[in-house]
Amino acid sequence: MSKVKVFLEEKDIPRAWYNIQADMPNLPKPAMHPATKKPVVPEDLVPIFPRGLIDQEMTRDRWVEIPDEVREIYKLWRPSPLIRARRLEQALDTPAKIYFKHEGVSPAGSHKLNTAVPQVYYNKVAGTKRLTTETGAGQWGIALSQACSFFDLACIVYMVKISYQQKPYRRTMMEVFGARMYASPSENTNTGRQILQENPDNMGSLGMAISEAVEDAVGRDDTHYALGSVLNHVLLHQTIIGLEAKKQLELVDEYPDLVIACCGGGSNFGGIAFPFAYDKIKEGAPVRLIAVEPSACPTLTRGHHGYDYGDVAGYTPLLWMYSLGKDFMPPGIHAGGLRYHGASPLVSQLIKDGIAEAQSYGQSAVFDSGVLFARCEGIIPAPESSHAIHSAVVEALAAREAGEAKTILFNLSGHGLLDLPSYESYLHKGLVDSPISEEGLKKAMANLPQI
Amino acid sequence: MSKVKVFLEEKDIPRAWYNIQADMPNLPKPAMHPATKKPVVPEDLVPIFPRGLIDQEMTRDRWVEIPDEVREIYKLWRPSPLIRARRLEQALDTPAKIYFKHEGVSPAGSHKLNTAVPQVYYNKVAGTKRLTTETGAGQWGIALSQACSFFDLACIVYMVKISYQQKPYRRTMMEVFGARMYASPSENTNTGRQILQENPDNMGSLGMAISEAVEDAVGRDDTHYALGSVLNHVLLHQTIIGLEAKKQLELVDEYPDLVIACCGGGSNFGGIAFPFAYDKIKEGAPVRLIAVEPSACPTLTRGHHGYDYGDVAGYTPLLWMYSLGKDFMPPGIHAGGLRYHGASPLVSQLIKDGIAEAQSYGQSAVFDSGVLFARCEGIIPAPESSHAIHSAVVEALAAREAGEAKTILFNLSGHGLLDLPSYESYLHKGLVDSPISEEGLKKAMANLPQI
């Protein structure tokens, strides 16, 4: 009998993160200050981020050393297993080999902890006492509250009000780790109070929660803000996924023909794909890098490549990225983590330059594949991760059609144990693929900043 | 930096389960047929269990080979990691070393899958098409529904009605794996219909659900019944936990002074403790084996050792075990998996003979330790498993007091991600340690069968 899981030992946890800025044929244009519309300089970020992270945001060095204190925490769950989905292969009757990197084994339940730990660490070193953040579905908030508990920092989470009410399990999990939770919009910030004055029943949005978290951080000397995706330093930290996966595939003498991950802000896609993008850029490796998004929020497949704000209020720098326009309101799908109007500038540039590609799928097909995967492999996937699973299934069936023994690697960015109500909807209520509002999209794209 | 996790490779998954019946100084008295009150013979069990499991229930062979088909499925999550809880040790400022075996990594989220897989396998071999079972909190039902999905058997779960309503996440998880769910008491059996006729609002109990599941199985040729704890073959399968843990401790040159697990029916305690009980019985190893139960259901610490039924209706054989009386109704605590009036005959006998010992704790102290563990190690423990954690904490603090560098091993039988509402109660509503009804206990004990 052959191996199902490919484990590495703790000593094999990478000692450095990989920075793709060192190797991209074209770098994204620089982030612009929202007020001055001039390129952001490190000093602009000092009220928000600690120096260690600002340096990582800007650096062009290929390798960035992982501090020992971070590697020590990584040992709680890393190296994460690489698993051969043999039972899924059999169910699909495909000659393709399907491997997945299981990031759901982290105590936070997702890949988000890979960046939460170093972000809190560099803040700790800088003397930060409190960290603020926003969370939608809750994966990022859980990761940051865990990391803050490990390093004994206070964690303040602005959770989008509708999620605060609908996802009590995730909210409670953050509280177990000691986080102070606010339903956003809240009475705790000017932004929140103003929104509530206009409409006391406002159920919030990620954009509003970001604005509240940033305001809370900027207003206090002991406080910084943390972001769970999009930015360069976040994707840098996530490259540990792809670096480990490469080593693990080498152990079983494999190299992927396809590397697949879902893409919201882009951190889990960048995390697994960048180390393989290196091979493609530098050595011409014929690997396809596929970012999978929901057709309900088709940033990479239908968005515009140019400058846009990261939040609704326009407090964040303007980023050079694919965007549907910050005012675009996607229909309510279960993969809340993929409902973001923009995408990481680094990922966007790779797509623009044809080094990576994008696919979009509707959620009912995505859930079909997610449930098939669960029944084969035993793991309930997060609805976000099921987008990657579905693409892997589609590609494995295409390999069967073509009679090609492709090797597929996808990232299982998180488990779906706290998303079981979405599965209940799928099983009992029928999932619909709500079409996006074409008029809304047109309007949001017309509002893109002109600079 | 030193290791946090001790991994084994898939080839190190044990090839045989350990049967403590081969080595016990005293065996429990034989199970008695509920009607004839004569010792159960294999033929009595044929309507309920497949031959492979009946043989395992009765055998005195020390080692029982694990079929390749079962080991192949075990590879989905086994060997499970042994983790050194360094951050917990630091928080307790104890010289004790604390290791835990993490059974929550199974796709079912608990140790229950260790026995669900072989139970379904032997049924598959015997030609069984449908398996029935009962579930309370849902851990066992999830494990059996997963195992049935792996081997393509139909799974019918009678879930105690109050849990069916209060634990929708667990219910949905079983449905994802294709189980047919009934809220018990149901209209699907004579037992259920009779109970509902008497009281349509009856919210069910584990004893009633067992009776329904057994009735459903006995009435159909294509159907067997499966039980998740108590019986010899179940504990046999769980010994894979202790066998792996021993190998892992050897790799880091350790042998435990204490082996700790929570105890409801006894399967996770027996699973981790029996391989060490061998050392104690055969070689006089000075290891303490501690079964931890809730003070709200103190079977081992306050029960009577003798014959009692396994279910409320009296359909099951009479077992030679500690029992509070089948009519004892424990107060509603969050560790639903530990609310059982009896305990495994094998575990009971080891306690009776002083080879193992029992402790009981109230749930508020147990949750204190569970949350401390979560904040240190990142893992949200099941309320059941938190009983083992609490005992480990108490013993580690005693080691600090005594200045002794004890080595403690405990079993983390499952994660608590689907128990987060219990944590919400703890954090926001205050947990109480409801005292048991002394009068109710006296009554139930007075009703113990006289044979």
Q: Are strands B130-135 and A304-309 parallel, antiparallel or unpaired?
A: unpaired
pLDDT at B434: 82
Of A1, A146, A377, which is closest to B72 when you measure between CB atoms?
A1
The answer to whether position B202 is within a domain reads yes
- CB of B423 within 8 Å of a chain A CB? The answer is yes
DSSP B140: H
DSSP-assigned letters across all residues of B378-410: S--B-HHHHHHHHHHHHHHHHHHHHT---EEEE
Mean pLDDT of the B303-325 span: 92
pLDDT band at residue A385 using 50, 70 and 90 as cut-offs: very high
In a domain, B19, yes or no: no
Residue B199 lies in a domain: yes
Task: Kindly report, residue by residue over B148-201, the tens digit of the pLDDT.
Answer: 999 999 999 999 998 898 889 999 999 999 999 999 999 999 999 999 999 999
Q: Is A442 helix (H, G, I), strand (E, B) or coil?
A: helix
Report if residue B32 sits inside a domain: no
Domain ranges, residue A169: 48-56+112-231
Average pLDDT value for residue range A308-312:
88
Q: How confident is the model at residue B329 (pLDDT cuts 50, 70, 90)?
A: confident
Are B336 and B391 contained in the same domain? yes
- Please state, in angstroms and rounded to a whole number, the distance separating the CA atoms of residues B168 and B181: 12
| Closest to A273 in 3D by CA, of A146, A179, A368, A410 | A410
Chain A contact for B7 (CB, 8 A cutoff): yes
Q: Pick the closest to residue A14 from A97, A92, A70 (CA basis).
A: A70
Q: Are B121 and B150 in contact (CB under 8 A)?
A: no
What does the pLDDT read at residue B207? 81
**Burial call A220-250: b when 16+ CB within 10 Å, e when fewer:** eeebbbbbbbbbbbbbbbbbbbbbbbbbbbe
Contact A175 B87 (CB under 8 A): no
Backbone Cα Rg of chain B: 20
Q: Is A120 on the interface with B (CB under 8 A)?
A: no
Q: In this structure, what CATH number is given to the domain that contains residue B177?
A: 3.40.50.1100
In chain A, whose CA is at the least distance from the CA of B381?
A: A107
- Any chain B CB within 8 A of the CB of A164? no
Minimum Cα–Cα distance from B90: chain A residue: A150
Q: Which of B5, B105, B146 sits opposite A75 (nearest CB)?
A: B5
Contacts of residue A303, Cβ cutoff 8 Å, sequence gap at least 6: A322, A323, A324, A341, A342, A343, A445
DSSP helix/strand/coil, B223: strand
pTM recorded for the entire structure: 0.95
A276-298 average pLDDT score: 97
The confidence score (pLDDT) of residue A422 equals: 93
Q: Does A152 touch chain B (CB under 8 A)?
A: no
Work out the mean pLDDT of chain B and round it to a whole number. 95
Pair B378, B270 in one domain: yes
> Which two structure tokens, joined as six digits, stand for A276?
């393989």
B10 touches chain A (CB under 8 A): yes
- A87/B contact by beta carbon, under 8 A: yes
Sheet holding B258-262, edge to edge: B5-6, B82-84, B97-102, B407-412, B258-262, B288-294, B357-361
Alpha helices in B59-189 (DSSP H): 68-74, 86-92, 113-125, 139-151, 161-166, 168-176
Positive or negative, the Cα torsion across A299, A301, A303, A306?
Answer: positive
* Same domain as A168, residue A103: no
User: Cβ contact (<8 Å) for B169 and A173?
Assistant: no
Angle, CA of A281, A286 and A292, to the nearest 5°: 85
Spatial contact of B171 and B195, defined as CB atoms under 8 Å apart:
no
The Cα of B48 is separated from the nearest Cα of chain A by a number of Å equal to 26
- Domain final residue pick, A193, A216, A231: A231
Average pLDDT over residues B39-67: 96
Query: What's the mean pLDDT in A31-42?
Result: 95
Domain stop point among A176, A199, A231: A231
Report which DSSP code applies to A88.
H
A172/B4 touch (CB, cutoff 8 Å), yes or no: no
Length in residues, chain B: 451
Please indicate if any CB of chain B lies within 8 Å of the CB of A432: no
User: What pLDDT score does A1 carry?
Assistant: 46
Q: B214, B225 in Cβ contact below 8 A?
A: yes
Q: Residue A316: what are its φ and ψ, rounded to 5°?
A: -85, 165
Which of B231, B262, B288 corresponds to the end of one domain?
A: B231
In whole angstroms, give the CA distance from residue A451 to residue B12: 61
Same-domain pairing of B280 and B155: no
Instruction: Tell me if B427 and A149 make a contact (CB, 8 A cut-off).
Output: no
Query: What is the SS3 assignment for A348?
Result: helix
Q: Are residues B216 and B180 in the same domain?
A: yes
**A16 domain residue, yes or no:** no
- pLDDT for residue A239 is more than 90: yes
Q: How far is B14 from chain A (nearest CA, A)?
A: 14
Query: How many A×B Cβ pairs under 8 Å?
Result: 123
Do residues A308 and A342 lie in contact, with contact meaning Cβ atoms separated by under 8 Å?
Answer: yes
| Chain A environment of B424 (Cβ under 8 Å) | 168, 172, 175
Measured between beta carbons, the chain B residues lying within 8 angstroms of A176 are 371, 374-375, 380, 420, 423, 427
Would an 8 Å CB–CB cutoff place A177 in contact with chain B? yes
Q: In the prediction, which pLDDT does B2 show?
A: 65
Percent of chain B with pLDDT over 90: 88
Query: Which of these ranges, A161-165, A206-210, A416-420, B311-315, has the smallest mean pLDDT?
Result: B311-315
10 Å Cβ neighbour count for B332?
A: 10
Q: Is the pLDDT of residue A387 over 60?
A: yes
- Confirm or reject contact between B152 and chain A (CB < 8 A): no
- Using a CB–CB cutoff of 8 Å, tell me whether B251 touches chain A: no
Chain B CB within 8 Å of residue A68 CB: yes
> Do the Cβ atoms of A340 and A299 come closer than 8 Å?
yes
Residue B150 in contact with partner chain A when CB distance is under 8 A: yes
A116 in a domain, yes or no? yes
* Neighbour-count burial of B347, counting CB atoms closer than 10 A to its CB (0-12 exposed, 13-18 middle, 19+ buried): buried
Q: Are strands B154-160 and B63-65 parallel, antiparallel or unpaired?
A: unpaired
Q: Does A349 map to a domain?
A: yes
Among A2, A172, A373, A389, which would you mutate to test the B interface (most chain B Cβ atoms within 10 Å of its Cβ)? Answer: A172
Residue A77: which pLDDT band, with cuts at 50, 70 and 90?
very high
Distance to chain A for B201, nearest Cα, Å? 24
What are the tens digits of pLDDT across the range A157-201?
999 998 898 889 999 999 999 999 999 999 999 999 999 999 999
Residue A374 lies in a domain: yes
**Strand spans (E) along B265-406:** 288-294, 304-309, 318-323, 357-361
Q: What single-letter amino acid sits at B138?
A: G
Minimum-distance CB partner of A177 among B77, B175, B375 = B375
Q: Which of A292, A291, A350, A342 has its CA nearest to residue A316?
A: A342
* Number of C-beta neighbours around residue A404 at 10 A: 12
**Chain A nearest CA to B1, separation (Å):** 8
Contacts of B106 in chain A (CB under 8 A): 378
Task: Give the distance, in angstroms, between the CA of residue B447 and the centroid of all CA atoms in the same chain.
Answer: 25
Beta partners for residue B410, in sequence order: B100, B260
Chain B residue nearest residue A177, CA to CA: B375
Is the pLDDT at B36 greater than 70, yes or no?
yes
Instruction: Compute CA distances B368 → A172, A257, B389, B433, whole Å.
Output: 15, 49, 10, 13
Encoded tokens for B174: 């079983």
Do both B147 and B296 map to the same domain? Answer: no
User: Are B262 and B203 part of one and the same domain?
Assistant: no
- A368 Cα to chain B: minimum distance (Å): 11
Task: List, in order, residues 6 or more apart from A450 with CB less than 8 Å away.
Answer: none
Chain A residues with CB under 8 Å of B382 CB are none
In this prediction, residue B358 has a pLDDT band, given cuts at 50, 70 and 90, of very high
Q: Are B354 and B156 in contact (CB under 8 A)?
A: no
Query: Running DSSP on this structure, what letter comes out for residue B39?
Result: B
The owner of tokens 């995390």 is A271
Q: Is A418 on the interface with B (CB under 8 A)?
A: yes
Measured distance CA(A59)–CA(A34) in Å, rounded = 22
Q: Are B387 and B370 in contact (CB under 8 A)?
A: no
User: Among partner residues B10, B106, B420, which is closest to A169 by beta-carbon distance?
Assistant: B420
The 10s digit of each residue's pLDDT in A395-451 is 999 999 999 999 999 999 999 999 999 999 999 988 888 889 999 999 999 999 987
Task: Please state the rounded mean pLDDT for residues B411-431.
Answer: 93
A239 and A198 in a common domain: no
In the DSSP assignment, the letter for residue B450 is -
- Regarding whether B118 and B80 lie in a shared domain, the answer is no
Looking at residue A67, its pLDDT comes to 98
pLDDT above 50 for B1: no
Cβ <8 Å between B168 and A420: yes
CB atoms within 10 A of CB B218: 14
Element (H, E) at A262: strand A258-262
Please tell me if residue B378 touches chain A, with a CB cutoff of 8 Å.
yes
Give the count of domains, chain A.
2
Comparing A271-275, B170-174, B206-210, the range with the smallest average pLDDT is: B206-210
d(CA B5, CA B435): 39
Helices (H), A167-226: 168-176, 190-198, 206-218
Is there a single domain that holds both residue A136 and residue A265?
no
Judged by CB atoms closer than 8 Å, whether chains meet at A423 and B5 is answered as: no
Residue A298 and residue A218 share a domain = no
Chain A contact present for B427, CB below 8 A? yes
Same domain, A117 and A100: no
Q: Does A251 touch chain B (CB under 8 A)?
A: no
